[in-house]
Structure formats: structure tokens, C-alpha cells
């Protein structure tokens, strides 16, 4: 047996024994590595390293010799997280001589960091009298011992002095952007970091290598399936860039998984005596450390990929393919792919926080589809958290509270309980038709864009799909789907809806990045740029193909087509002409075709007399209408909430629109996010809106509020509030006060 293997075998026996471990460990390392000294320094609160065990130095120094992080060789190793191999340590400029240790005679020194879950817990060092550079094998073995030591130190509670000192036990609050509102309380699980490698040392490297190879193959198969299955259907996004990026990530995954040099390195480490899990963990850690010093964002991203991949591999080695430790947990991730989020959802997580992510990202859309409270953009959470920390994810207020103090946790638990009770009460509403207390019927419909959301039709009791965002499937694929592919999706949607109507909105792409043959234009204001119907009209082939796919999917059924971002009647007419031309060729012809427009561009409000006689329906896209009306970008957190739908200008506009639509007998709905908020929904209904379309999460709460509200009482109140507005920016407070007085669940 080679010396390193023998050391690891004996180490295994030492760690398994019940006896005090540290003195044995340093003695063992010192004898097996032929080092005159072996010492362990542990991190203490206040960034202090304390000598806690030694073989070869003065035993009296144990518990007394202390160094600051950054001080001396040991301090530098702790500060940088990198090993130092010095034949002549005493003449190193940073050498800090500590007479009480009796280390004067030792010339050479090898020191490695003791790290666990991204934190430095201490330093392990060996020293020799003779000046010598330690061999690569010796470095490798000492690093392996450091891993074992990390587990032992953590188990012994020494980790309370980890990197952040006492800070790592205190409550910390991280502000973020809410992707999906809601509240969750639970233990933290970290995506990609795995749950630690578990067993570290292996008896039989050959068997370990075989396990590793099998797991790599399984992981590759899993990735191929992930790429194949997530791109067409389960993956989706609102911004083409996100789709492209996600595709790149998946492709890079596949490449790295297939032949990356990191895997060769993992094999090498397994041959050295580590379990496959420990080797993967170790190599990912090495890469992480190396990458910490690289600024190039592209390279850093690649390392993040490997990190995620390593987590996947460790999970695969665990046998399940995905960790099954998510029940009741809050998932924290640097970045998250949509299929990964689905995996975690299946594992039972109750909330998700991603450091890098936006409302437009794929994970956000999946989270919304799953009704999973989600936050993005909290910098530094991953660094700050300890495995098993508790957290409160408050996606209503946009914050993650790590290690909440008892008071905060109790308050949030109470809020969550109240909410759950309320939900349980709402469940009974599912099969009741939506109506106000005075009996005014209201149609509540769904906004969706993913096949996986169709199930919500039944789970919410929605009366149909008021907005089907067709671009989502395209964004998911990163390319324009062909007619047959599109038709298959639309057919599935119509099949799921049955008798219930589905309003298909034609492509509402945020730019032209998905179009294969056009260079992306540089736009200062993409939201007001070449997007949506503008692309469809400039590239009529694209729009006609989509319309053909919709007609094919409808077959003989009824078809509703809605055009987005219409700014002029002429644009609507041009789009409708394309539909008419396609419909003329359709076989079979749909039972009926309804054509409508979204109202998102304020200019259209002044063309209603020309527009309304020509449309079958209009749906207010309040997300865009608000942003254009108030000149306030909908994606800029700094101005989110600055302007209110419940404001005199919006209410005046919405009311006037409603009167005009009634006069022309045109069906009118609202499909922006505001429709999903109970107070806004109540106001919309009292203004005369009979159809509201919204994300699934909104349906039951809105139904509950409407059922409790009497419009005969509310209308004059709203009238009076609007009348007395006197330049107020928002009428929310007085409206909410009335709702509270009435005991409405808003
Ligand atoms: C809107 O603008 O209100 C709308 C529903 O469309 P989207 O959110 O897809 O832009
Ligand atoms: Mg819009």
C-alpha cells in the first residue's frame, strides 16, 4: 500500500474511533508524511486563528498561540484559501515568529486551508527541519486530511468561528426583487452545493472509479433529457436573451459534462483514496477558489456551471438523480434552470431565492406557474448562509431573512398560518361562479403560456384562458417554432380548455434576437422599440405562419386571436388582413373567428371610435399601458410601485374605455397583473369590467373579495373618493379603508 493510501486508511480508522481525535490525527499525519511537525489552527470569532493541536511544537502553546487572519504564513493561507508550500518559510516576508511554539528549527512548511461549504474553518500545517519543497502527492494528501478535519471541526462546533465569525449566527436581511409574491418559512437548501459529500474516504478506489463513471454516464443521460425536454415545453421566458442564455448554459453543461478536464482531475483524486462524492466536491471547491480571483464574467459563469454540475453529479452518486431533501425547504441558488426548479418542486420546496435572476427569467416563469413564492437579486446570500440555516422568504415585501430571530419567525409563522387558513376557506369557492354579493356576474380567466399551467384551469375553476402568451414556447426554444410545432402546442391548449374560450395572443417578442436572419438592432428603449406586432407586421411571413398554425390547431373549433401592442387602427387592420388571408385557405374552417386587440399603447385610446366597430373584443394590458401612460419602465425596481392603477388618470381612462366598449357592444377585459389583486379587481368590476384575466394565484382571492362586496354600496363610495381626489397620486388608501370597514378579504 502506498504511503498516502496507508495514511488515509489509518485516518479512516482514527475518525471512526470514539477516542479524542485531534491529537491522534496530528500524530498520524506527522508520522505518515514524515514531517517533524503537524499542527491544526482553528478559526475563532474575530478572525483569529488559534493553535488547537500539534505534534512536534511545544504542547504548551496549544490554546495560547494566536494569529490574526492574514498574519504569518498560516494567516495568509486562511485569508486566501490557498495552500502555501515553502522550503524556506522562516525567510518568507510574512513569517511571524512565535517563540512559545519552539518552531525556530523548522525551515520548511506546507500549510493548507481547512474549508467546508465555502468557509475557512482553519489551517492544517506540517513542518520539517530540512529545507524541502513538499511533493505534489504530499500536498494532495494534506488537502485530503484537511477535508476530513473540516468535517470533524464542524461536528465539534468549531465552525462558529467560520469566515464571518459571530456574524454567521446572527439574523441577516437581504433585500431582493419579488418574482412571485408569497411567504415561506423553512430550512435553507442550496442548489448546486449539494448536501456535502457525506462519506469522504473510500476503501477501494477501483470500485469508486466505477461508481463515478456510472454516475457520469447517468448524469449525461439526465442532461440530454433535460435539454430535450425543457427546451420545447417546460422551459420558458419573456426575454429572448434569457432563453438564449439558458440554452447556452445547458449546452455548456453538456460539453463540460462530456469531456471537461475537471472530470480527469476528479478521477485522479478518487485514485488518491477519496470517495467519488468527496472527489467531486473537492475539485469543485478547487475551481471555485481559483475562480474567485478571476474577473472575467464569462469564465466565472463557466465555473458556476461546473459548480452546478458538480452538485448534480454528487446527487446522482447519491442514487436519486436529484436531492430529495427539499420538503418544506427554501431553495437558494446562484442561478436556476427551469427544469431544475421543477425537480426541486417535486422534492417539496416551499419557496425559492435566486441570486441572479429576474422576473423575465425562465425560473421566474416556472415559479409563477407553480405558485411558488420567489425572490431574486439578493447579493451575497450564498456566501452568508450556513447549511441548515432557517430563513423567512417574504416575497411580498421583497426580502429574505436569514436566521430570523425568534420574534420575527413567530410573527411570520402567524402570518403564514392566517394565510393558509384563508386559502383553505377559498378552496370551497372554486366551483362557485364568480359574482359580487349583489349578484353581478364576473368572468375570471387565466393568463398562461406553458403547457404545465393548463392544469390550473381545473384547479382554479377559471372560465377560460383570457391571455395565452404564445411567445413563451418560442422563447423557451430560443428559436421560432415551425408551423407544425406551433399547431401542436395550440391544439393541446384548446383540448385542455374544452368548451372554455382561449384568447391566443400573437407573438409578443421583446426584440428581434430570436429572428435568425436579422442582426439585432441597437435600441435605447427596447420596450418601445421594434417589438411585438411591429415585428409581425414587418415580417409578415412570421405572423402568417403563426396564424396558420392557430387555424390548423382550431380545426373546426372556435378561434380567438388577439394582437398585442397595437398603436394605430391601421396596424390592427393590417394584422387582421393577414388573418383573413390565412383563414380563407384554412381547411377545415373554424366554427367562428373572433379578432381582438390588446389595449397597451395609450394612443389607441384616442382611436376608439374607429377601432371598436372593427374588433370583437379588447383586452387591457395594464402592465404596458401603465408603463407607457406614466412613462415608467415596468422592470425598474426603483420605480416599482411609484405609480398606482388606483389613481385618477387610470380610473378615468378605464371607465371611459368601458363606456365606449359597451356602446359598441364590444367585449372588454383586463389581462394585466392588476386584475389579480383583489382591491384593483373590485374597482375594475365596479367600473363595469365583467371579465378579468389573471395568473392562477389571483383567481380564488379575487373571487372571495368580489363575493363579499356589494357594488350598490361601493359604487357611490368610489364615486365620492374619485370626486374628492384633488390631485391625489393614489386613491388606494380611502378605497382600502372602505374595504377594511366592510371586512372584505383584501
Ligand atoms: C400587459 O402588458 O399588461 C400584458 C398582459 O402583456 P405582457 O405582460 O405579456 O406584456
Ligand atoms: Mg404587454
The C-alpha cell at 276 is 467519488
Residue nearest to atom 4 of ligand 1 (CA): 621
Does 657 score more than 90 pLDDT?
yes
Question: Which range, of 37-46, 134-143, 295-304, 325-334, averages the lowest pLDDT?
Answer: 295-304
Helix residue spans in 349-405 (DSSP H):
362-370, 381-384
Residues 721-743, mean pLDDT to the nearest whole number: 97
Question: Which range, of 33-47, 181-195, 241-255, averages the lowest pLDDT?
Answer: 241-255
Q: Can you tell me which atom of ligand 1 is nearest the CA of 671?
A: 5
Residues 118-123, mean pLDDT to the nearest whole number: 83
Paired residues of 468 in beta bridges = 448, 504
Residue nearest to atom 9 of ligand 1 (CA): 469
Q: Can you tell me which atom of ligand 1 is nearest the CA of 508?
A: 9
The secondary element (H helix, E strand) that includes residue 184 is strand 183-190
Annotated catalytic residues are 362, 671
pLDDT in tens, 279-303: 888 887 777 666 655 555 556 556 6
- Label each residue of 289-348 as H, E or C: HHHHCCCCHHHHHHHHHHHHHHHHHHHHHCCCCCCCCCCCCEEEECCCCHHHHHHHHHCC
Q: Can you tell me which atom of ligand 1 is nearest the CA of 564?
A: 6
156 pLDDT band, cuts 50/70/90, is low
Residues 358-367, mean pLDDT to the nearest whole number: 68
Does 20 score more than 50 pLDDT?
yes
Does 517 score more than 70 pLDDT?
no
Q: Can you tell me which atom of ligand 1 is nearest the CA of 238?
A: 9
The C-alpha cell at 430 is 372554486
pLDDT in tens, 138-154: 898 899 889 888 877 77
Does 252 score more than 60 pLDDT?
no
Provide, rounded to the nearest whole percent, the portion of the chain with pLDDT above 90. 49
Residues 40-51, mean pLDDT to the nearest whole number: 86
Residues 640-647, mean pLDDT to the nearest whole number: 91
What is the rounded CA–CA span in Å between residue 548 and residue 590? 12
Helix residue spans in 347-405 (DSSP H):
362-370, 381-384
Domains of the chain: 3-155 (3.30.450.40), 171-193+322-429 (3.50.30.10), 196-320 (1.10.274.10), 430-741 (3.20.20.60)
Residues 6 or more apart whose CB falls under 8 angstroms from that of 226 comprise: 250, 337, 339
CB 493 within 8 A of CB 465: yes
Q: Which of 695, 713, 646, 619 has the alpha carbon at shortest distance from 450?
A: 695
Instruction: Tell me, in angstroms, the distance from the centre of ligand 1 to residue 695's CA.
Output: 11
What is the rounded CA–CA span in Å between residue 142 and residue 137? 9
Does 104 score more than 60 pLDDT?
yes
Report the chain's C-alpha Rg in angstroms: 31
Residues 598-627, mean pLDDT to the nearest whole number: 97
Instruction: Tell me, in angstroms, the distance from the centre of ligand 1 to residue 668's CA.
Output: 15
Query: Across 313-317, 362-366, 528-532, 653-657, which has the greatest mean pLDDT?
Result: 653-657
More confident residue, 655 or 154: 655
162 pLDDT band, cuts 50/70/90, is very low
Does 720 score more than 60 pLDDT?
yes
Q: Which residues surround ligand 2, an ion (CB under 5 A)?
A: 600, 621, 624
Q: Give the burial string for 550-569 (b: 16+ CB within 10 Å, else e).
A: bbbbbbebebbbbbbbbbeb
Cα-Cα end-to-end distance for the chain: 72
Residue 726: per-residue pLDDT = 95
Q: Which of 210, 116, 193, 103 has the alpha carbon at shortest distance from 158?
A: 116
pLDDT in tens, 468-508: 999 877 765 667 889 999 999 999 999 999 999 999 999 99
- DSSP helix/strand/coil, 743: coil
Residue nearest to atom 3 of ligand 1 (CA): 621
Residues 171-175, mean pLDDT to the nearest whole number: 89
Residue nearest to atom 6 of ligand 1 (CA): 621
Does 357 score more than 50 pLDDT?
yes
Residues 6 or more apart whose CB falls under 8 angstroms from that of 171 comprise: 401, 402, 403, 404, 405, 408
Instruction: Tell me, in angstroms, the distance from the centre of ligand 1 to residue 516's CA.
Output: 25
197 pLDDT band, cuts 50/70/90, is low
338 pLDDT band, cuts 50/70/90, is low
What is the rounded CA–CA span in Å between residue 477 and residue 443? 33
What is the number of the ligand closest to the CA of 447? 1
Q: Can you tell me which atom of ligand 1 is nearest the CA of 469?
A: 9
Residues 335-347, mean pLDDT to the nearest whole number: 75
Q: pTM here?
A: 0.61
Question: What's the CA dihedral at 148, 149, 153, 159 to 10 degrees?
Answer: -90
Long-range contacts of 368-372 (CB under 8 A, 24+ apart): 368/179, 368/180, 368/695, 368/697, 369/448, 369/450, 369/452, 369/453, 369/456, 369/696, 370/341, 370/342, 370/345, 371/180, 371/182, 371/696, 371/697, 372/180, 372/182, 372/341, 372/345
More confident residue, 566 or 262: 566
Residues 236-265, mean pLDDT to the nearest whole number: 56
Q: 42: burial class by Cβ within 10 Å (0-12, 13-18, 19+)?
A: buried
What is the rounded CA–CA span in Å between residue 631 and residue 396? 25
Residue nearest to atom 8 of ligand 1 (CA): 623
Does 625 score more than 60 pLDDT?
yes
Question: Which range, of 114-128, 425-439, 579-593, 694-708, averages the lowest pLDDT?
Answer: 114-128
Q: Which of 382, 375, 428 has the alpha carbon at shortest distance from 397?
A: 375
The secondary element (H helix, E strand) that includes residue 128 is strand 119-128
55 pLDDT band, cuts 50/70/90, is very high
Q: Can you tell me which atom of ligand 1 is nearest the CA of 447?
A: 5
What is the number of the ligand closest to the CA of 360? 1
Beta pairing, strands 84-86 & 66-68: unpaired
Provide, rounded to the nearest whole percent, the portion of the chain with pLDDT above 70. 83
The C-alpha cell at 664 is 359598441
Residue 131: per-residue pLDDT = 92
Residue 246: per-residue pLDDT = 47
Ligand 1 neighbours, Cβ below 6 Å, are 467, 469, 508, 600, 621-624, 671-672
Q: Which of 453, 504, 508 to mutate to test the pocket of ligand 1 (most atoms within 8 A of CB)?
A: 508
Query: Across 9-13, 242-246, 389-393, which has the greatest mean pLDDT?
Result: 389-393
Instruction: Tell me, in angstroms, the distance from the centre of ligand 2 to residue 192's CA.
Output: 34
Query: Across 82-96, 269-283, 317-331, 664-678, which has the greatest mean pLDDT?
Result: 664-678
Does 118 score more than 80 pLDDT?
no
Q: Which of 624, 628, 677, 698 to mutate to test the pocket of ligand 1 (most atoms within 8 A of CB)?
A: 624
Residue 314: per-residue pLDDT = 82
What is the rounded CA–CA span in Å between residue 277 and residue 589? 60
Instruction: Tell me, in angstroms, the distance from the centre of ligand 2 to residue 621's CA.
Output: 5
What is the number of the ligand closest to the CA of 566? 2
Q: Which of 470, 598, 602, 674 to mutate to test the pocket of ligand 1 (most atoms within 8 A of CB)?
A: 598
Q: Which of 284, 261, 87 has the alpha carbon at shortest distance from 192?
A: 284
245 pLDDT band, cuts 50/70/90, is very low
Residues 385-392, mean pLDDT to the nearest whole number: 87
Query: Across 118-132, 604-618, 632-646, which has the greatest mean pLDDT?
Result: 604-618
What is the number of the ligand closest to the CA of 619? 1
**Residue 425 — left, alpha, or beta (φ > 0 → left; ψ -120 to 50 → alpha)?**
alpha
- Give the Cα-Cα-Cα angle 642, 643, 644 (nearest 5 degrees): 125
Residue 322: per-residue pLDDT = 45
- Label each residue of 541-589 as H, E or C: HHHHHHHHHHHHHHCCCEEEEEECCCCCHHHHHHHHHHHHHHHHHCCCC
What is the rounded CA–CA span in Å between residue 666 and residue 660? 9
Residue 304 sits at φ, ψ, to 5 deg, of -60, -40
Instruction: Tell me, in angstroms, the distance from the centre of ligand 1 to residue 445's CA.
Output: 15
More confident residue, 407 or 663: 663
Instruction: Tell me, in angstroms, the distance from the centre of ligand 2 to residue 456's CA.
Output: 22
From residue 317, how far is each of 93, 217, 253, 310, 737 by CA, in Å? Answer: 45, 11, 17, 10, 57
Residue 514: per-residue pLDDT = 46
Q: Which of 528, 564, 676 to mutate to test the pocket of ligand 1 (most atoms within 8 A of CB)?
A: 564
pLDDT in tens, 63-82: 889 999 889 999 999 988 88
What is the number of the ligand closest to the CA of 623? 1
Instruction: Tell me, in angstroms, the distance from the centre of ligand 1 to residue 619's CA.
Output: 10
Instruction: Tell me, in angstroms, the distance from the centre of ligand 1 to residue 567's CA.
Output: 14
Residues 6 or more apart whose CB falls under 8 angstroms from that of 19 comprise: none
pLDDT in tens, 389-434: 999 999 988 899 999 988 889 999 999 998 888 888 888 899 999 9
Mean pLDDT of the chain: 85
Q: Can you tell me which atom of ligand 1 is nearest the CA of 467?
A: 5
Instruction: Tell me, in angstroms, the distance from the centre of ligand 2 to residue 600's CA.
Output: 6
Long-range contacts of 659-666 (CB under 8 A, 24+ apart): 659/688, 660/608, 660/609, 660/612, 661/612, 661/618, 662/688, 663/612, 664/612, 664/613, 666/612, 666/615, 666/616, 666/617, 666/618
Q: Can you tell me which atom of ligand 1 is nearest the CA of 627?
A: 2
Does 159 score more than 60 pLDDT?
no
What is the number of the ligand closest to the CA of 626? 1
Amino acid at each position: 500500500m502506498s504511503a498516502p493510501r496507508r495514511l488515509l486508511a489509518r485516518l479512516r480508522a482514527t475518525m471512526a474511533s470514539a477516542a479524542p481525535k485531534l491529537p491522534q490525527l496530528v500524530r498520524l499525519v506527522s508520522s505518515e508524511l514524515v514531517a517533524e511537525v503537524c499542527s491544526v489552527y482553528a478559526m475563532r470569532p474575530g478572525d483569529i486563528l488559534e493553535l488547537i493541536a500539534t505534534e512536534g511544537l511545544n504542547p504548551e502553546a496549544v490554546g495560547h498561540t494566536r494569529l490574526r487572519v492574514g498574519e504569518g504564513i498560516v494567516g495568509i493561507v486562511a485569508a486566501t484559501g490557498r495552500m502555501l508550500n515553502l522550503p524556506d518559510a522562516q525567510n518568507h516576508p510574512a513569517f511571524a515568529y512565535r517563540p512559545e511554539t519552539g518552531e525556530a528549527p523548522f525551515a520548511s512548511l506546507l500549510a493548507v486551508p481547512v474549508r467546508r461549504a465555502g468557509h475557512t474553518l482553519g489551517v492544517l500545517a506540517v513542518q520539517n527541519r530540512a529545507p524541502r519543497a513538499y511533493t505534489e502527492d504530499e500536498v494532495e494528501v494534506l488537502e485530503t486530511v484537511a477535508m476530513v478535519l473540516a468535517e470533524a471541526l464542524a461536528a465539534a462546533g468549531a465552525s462558529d468561528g467560520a469566515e464571518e465569525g459571530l456574524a454567521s449566527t446572527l439574523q441577516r436581511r437581504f433585500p431582493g426583487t419579488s418574482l412571485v409574491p408569497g411567504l415561506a418559512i423553512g430550512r435553507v437548501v442550496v442548489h448546486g452545493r449539494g448536501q456535502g459529500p457525506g462519506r469522504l474516504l473510500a476503501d477501494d478506489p477501483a470500485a469508486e472509479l466505477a461508481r463515478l463513471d456510472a454516475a457520469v454516464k447517468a448524469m449525461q443521460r439526465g442532461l440530454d433529457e433535460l435539454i430535450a425536454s425543457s427546451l420545447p415545453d417546460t422551459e420558458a421566458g419573456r426575454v429572448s436573451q434569457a432563453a438564449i442564455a439558458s440554452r447556452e448554459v445547458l449546452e455548456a453543461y453538456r460539453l463540460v459534462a462530456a469531456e471537461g478536464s475537471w472530470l480527469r482531475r476528479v478521477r485522479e483524486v478518487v485514485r488518491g483514496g477519496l470517495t467519488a462524492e468527496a472527489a467531486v466536491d473537492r475539485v469543485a471547491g478547487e475551481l471555485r477558489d481559483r475562480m474567485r480571483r478571476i474577473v472575467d464574467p464569462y469564465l466565472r459563469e463557466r465555473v458556476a456551471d461546473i459548480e452546478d454540475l458538480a452538485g448534480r453529479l454528487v446527487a446522482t452518486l447519491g442514487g436519486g438523480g436529484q436531492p430529495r431533501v427539499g420538503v418544506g425547504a427554501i431553495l437558494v441558488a446562484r442561478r436556476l434552470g427551469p427544469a431544475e426548479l421543477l425537480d426541486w418542486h417535486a422534492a417539496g420546496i416551499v419557496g425559492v431565492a435566486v441570486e441572479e435572476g429576474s422576473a423575465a427569467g425562465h425560473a421566474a416563469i416556472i415559479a409563477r406557474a407553480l405558485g411558488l413564492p420567489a425572490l431574486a437579486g439578493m447579493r451575497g446570500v450564498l456566501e452568508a448562509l450556513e447549511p441548515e440555516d432557517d430563513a423567512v422568504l417574504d416575497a411580498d415585501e421583497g426580502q429574505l431573512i436569514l436566521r430570523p430571530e425568534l420574534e420575527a419567525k413567530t410573527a411570520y409563522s402567524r402570518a403564514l398560518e392566517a394565510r393558509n387558513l384563508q386559502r383553505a376557506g377559498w378552496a370551497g369557492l372554486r366551483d362557485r361562479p364568480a359574482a359580487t354579493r349583489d349578484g353581478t356576474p364576473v368572468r375570471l380567466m387565466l393568463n398562461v403560456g406553458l403547457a404545465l399551467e393548463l392544469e390550473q384551469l381545473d384547479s382554479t375553476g377559471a372560465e377560460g384562458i383570457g391571455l395565452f402568451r404564445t411567445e413563451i414556447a418560442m422563447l423557451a426554444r430560443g428559436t421560432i417554432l415551425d408551423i407544425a410545432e406551433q399547431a401542436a402546442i395550440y391544439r393541446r391548449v384548446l383540448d385542455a380548455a374544452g368548451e372554455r374560450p382561449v384568447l391566443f395572443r400573437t407573438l409578443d417578442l421583446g426584440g428581434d434576437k430570436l429572428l435568425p436572419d436579422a442582426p439585432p438592432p441597437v435600441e435605447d428603449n427596447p420596450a418601445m422599440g421594434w417589438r411585438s406586432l411591429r415585428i409581425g407586421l414587418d415580417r409578415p411571413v412570421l405572423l402568417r405562419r403563426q396564424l396558420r398554425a392557430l387555424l390548423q390547431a382550431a380545426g373546426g373549433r372556435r378561434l380567438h386571436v388577439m394582437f398585442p401592442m397595437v398603436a394605430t387602427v391601421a396596424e390592427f387592420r393590417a394584422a387582421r388582413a393577414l388573418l383573413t388571408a390565412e383563414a380563407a385557405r384554412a381547411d377545415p374552417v373554424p366554427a367562428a373567428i373572433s379578432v381582438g386587440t390588446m389595449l397597451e399603447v395609450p394612443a389607441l385610446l384616442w382611436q376608439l371610435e374607429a377601432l371598436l366597430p372593427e374588433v370583437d373584443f379588447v383586452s387591457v394590458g395594464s402592465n404596458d399601458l401603465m408603463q407607457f401612460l406614466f412613462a415608467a419602465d415596468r422592470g425598474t425596481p426603483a420605480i416599482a410601485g411609484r405609480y398606482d392603477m388606483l389613481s385618477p388618470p387610470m380610473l378615468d381612462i378605464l371607465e371611459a374605455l368601458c363606456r365606449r366598449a359597451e356602446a359598441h357592444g364590444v367585449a372588454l377585459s383586463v389581462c394585466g397583473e392588476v386584475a389579480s389583486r383583489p382591491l384593483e379587481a373590485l374597482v375594475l368590476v365596479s367600473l363595469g369590467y365583467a371579465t378579468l384575466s389573471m395568473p392562477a394565484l389571483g383567481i380564488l382571492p379575487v373571487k372571495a373579495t368580489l363575493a363579499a362586496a356589494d357594488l350598490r354600496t361601493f359604487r357611490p363610495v368610489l364615486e365620492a373618493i374619485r370626486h374628492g381626489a384633488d390631485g391625489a397620486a393614489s386613491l388606494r388608501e380611502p378605497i382600502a379603508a372602505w374595504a377594511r370597514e366592510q371586512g372584505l378579504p383584501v
